Each structure stands twice: as structure tokens, then as C-alpha cells.
Amino acid sequence: MLPYINTPFEYVAGILGASPDELKLISSFLLSYPLAGLLKRVPDEKPALKNIFIISVSTFYLVGLFDLWVGVRTLAVSSIGAYLIAQYIQGPFMPWIGFVFCMGHLSINQLARQFANTPAVVDITGAQMILVMKLTAFCWNVADGRLPEKDLSDFQKERAIKTLPSLLDFAGYVLFFPSLMAGPAFDYVEYRRWIETTMFEVPVGTDPSKKAPTRKKRKIPRSGTPAAWKAAAGMLWILLFLKLSGSYYPDLLLGDQYMTYGFLHRVWILHLLGITTRLKYYGVWALTEGACILSGLGYKGVDPVTGKVSWDRLQNVNPWGVESAQNTRAYLGNWNINTNNWLRNYMYLRVTPRGKKPGFRASMATFVTSAFWHGFYPGYYLTFILASFVQTVAKSPFP
């Protein structure tokens, strides 16, 4: 018999073998779909109303669903602090000051979570990790907007912010509810182009028959079908995780019975444990990406020849690419894609002097930043520092 339980979440969690908070998290991802559908139907000419809707839903998630009153304060401190740093600090060190502030604030909460040692409880650190990517990128984009265009790369020109956004636009950006708790992250310019619907403009001269189909006078293309496929894929990954996690779990490797198995059996268990662990991330990232697609933010353009619409702007993982990777570069390139892009564009290329190619020091700084961003468990540092050496060796020519 199931133990006495107080809420429907605890009842279903007891059946599925998940914690109530984990079940709430999945529920919030699924709830984001109908809410993203409503968001998409807010008139294009009312961006302020879109921002208010986004802020209201995120507030409901944080306070109504997870009771994270302190978490609201945490996100506010990080966001307001980064905005003030970008607004009032001039000079080349501004984005680094923003980086230290955001990462330092995150580190305090990461340590508190590590000492609490309650991995099944959802706290604010997951949302804050996503926010750190947004805010540090925001500071760099503002810094780029103050430089002459001749000093910027094409990527930096596209993302540069020349005028600080209003507080309402900024709040909508940092609290975008489909990606609030688990990502994906994106740059402010992408959000501004989405909320102003300039993202959906097609190049002049494009054949009208090749334009993405829209409903009535709305500029955001129809996205229900690709969003539904992502939702279905996400639920499939999560169901597979729930099925396999009962047989393949970390404690199995730490028990005495594991060493009684033959070598090939032990390798098989280790391999299946890795796959099972990744399934959880495949599911979560597919669900959040699907909600972003439904809102329209996943739009990446339309092929002017075939008329096929691309919705992978915010794709965060390519499961087949990860599982079939032939080298470390392919593996890392298909895993946590948006975090890799953030590390590349706002750390790897930023620590490299202009006119020089990134080297080992840039690679090491990037992987250490990744470990620091993840938290303070020693395994992160062993993994990412080793990955820096492996990546460097993989790029070195051999006779």
C-alpha cells in the first residue's frame, strides 16, 4: 500500500517513483504549452501585454506552484544588479564585473543547495543558472553596443544592444516562462525581435508561396505541429527514464553485488546507466523547447526554395548526435547546445585577445567556467578540466 499522502502530486509521485517537486516541474513544462498558445494569441501590436502575461505566469510558477518566495527575491537581485551594472558602469571591465556579480550570487545558492543535500527538491538554483547565462550575455551585448562596429564580429553586431530596454521588456526577457526553470537560454536581441515580431519578416523578393503559413493577420507562423512532436518526444524520453531508472541507478554501481558480475555485464550496466541518466535531460529539454516553439520563439527562418520552416533556434540537445558521436567534439557539440554557445561566445572568444586564435588557456578558462556554473561538487571539476585537455589533444595534429 502507498503511504498516507496529502496532495494529488504526492499520490502520483508515489506511483511513478518521483518526488512531488519533480512531478510539479514536469507539470509546469506541460502547462506551458496551453499558456504558450495563449501567449501567441496576444495581439502582435501589444508587446507590453505579452510581457505582463509572461511575468504573471512565471510568478505563478515560482510562488503558486513551488512556493519559492525567496527564489523570487534571488532572481530579482541578480536581474536588477546586472541591469544597474550595464547601465551605470562604463569601460571594458563592465561585462566582467557583471559576470563576477552574477556567478558569485549563483555560487552562494549553489553552496546552500549542496549543503542541504536534497536533490529531489526543486529550488531556485536551476532557474538562476539559466538566468546567469542571460544576464552575462546581456552585459556583453550592452558593452558591444558601445563599441564601434568595425571592432565587432558579425555575431557581436547582430547581438549588440545600443539602447537599454525598458524594465518591463527586461523583466519579460528574464522571466520568459517556457524556459524559466530549465532553459533554454537566449540573448535579449532574440527576445526583442520575437516580441516585436520582426523575427518573422521574410527577405525582400521571397516568393509569397514560400512564406511560413500564419493564422489570420498574425505574423507568428503556425507552430502547433512541431511543438506537439517535441512534447511527444519529451514525454517518451521521460517515460523511458522512469522505466529504466528502476534497473539502472547510481547506487547499483556502489553496491557489493556489482563486482560479482562478469566484466562485460558490468560494462553493460555502466553503459545503460549513462543512457538512462541522459534520458531525463532529453525529456526535459524537449518539453521546454516545444513550449518555446509553440510561443514562436523557436522560429529560425524559412527556406526560400523549399518553403520549409526551421524551428530549431532554441534546440538544446540532439539525442542521436550525442549517442552516435564519434569524438569528443561531436559529443559536446550535440549536448546542452545553448550552454555551449554561451560559453563559446561569452567566455572562450572573450578571453582571447583581438586578432589572435583561442588556445589552451581559453579552452581551460571555458571549461573551468562551466564547472563553476554547475556548482561545487568535485566531479564537475574533474570532468570539465579533463575535458579541456581531451579537447586540446583532439585538436592537435599528429604525425
| DSSP type of residue 351 | S
Confidence of residue 2 (pLDDT cuts 50, 70, 90): very low
Rounded (to 5) percent helix, strand, coil in the chain: 65, 0, 30
CA–CA separation, 284 and 234 (whole Å): 6
- Using alpha carbons, list the distances in angstroms from residue 17 to 11, 223, 244, 265, 360: 10, 33, 12, 26, 44
Res 11: pLDDT: 35
- Say if CB 180 and CB 140 are below 8 A apart: no
**CA-based torsion, 82, 87, 89, 91: positive or negative:** positive
Mean pLDDT of 330-355: 91
Is residue 18 predicted with pLDDT exceeding 90?
A: no
Backbone angles phi, psi at 214, to 5 degrees: -125, 165
pLDDT in tens, 117-163: 887 777 899 999 999 999 999 999 999 999 999 999 999 999 999 99
| DSSP type of residue 347 | I
pLDDT in tens, 243-278: 999 899 988 988 888 999 999 999 999 999 999 999
CA–CA separation, 324 and 214 (whole Å): 36
Kindly tell me the burial class for residue 107, based on how many C-beta atoms sit within 10 Å of its own C-beta (0-12, 13-18, 19 or more): middle
Is residue 205 predicted with pLDDT exceeding 70?
A: no
- Say if CB 328 and CB 394 are below 8 A apart: yes
Res 13: pLDDT: 42
Catalytic site positions:
374
Q: What residues are paired with 221 via a beta bridge?
A: 214
% of the chain exceeding 90 in pLDDT: 67
pLDDT in tens, 343-387: 999 999 999 887 788 888 888 899 999 999 999 999 999 988 888
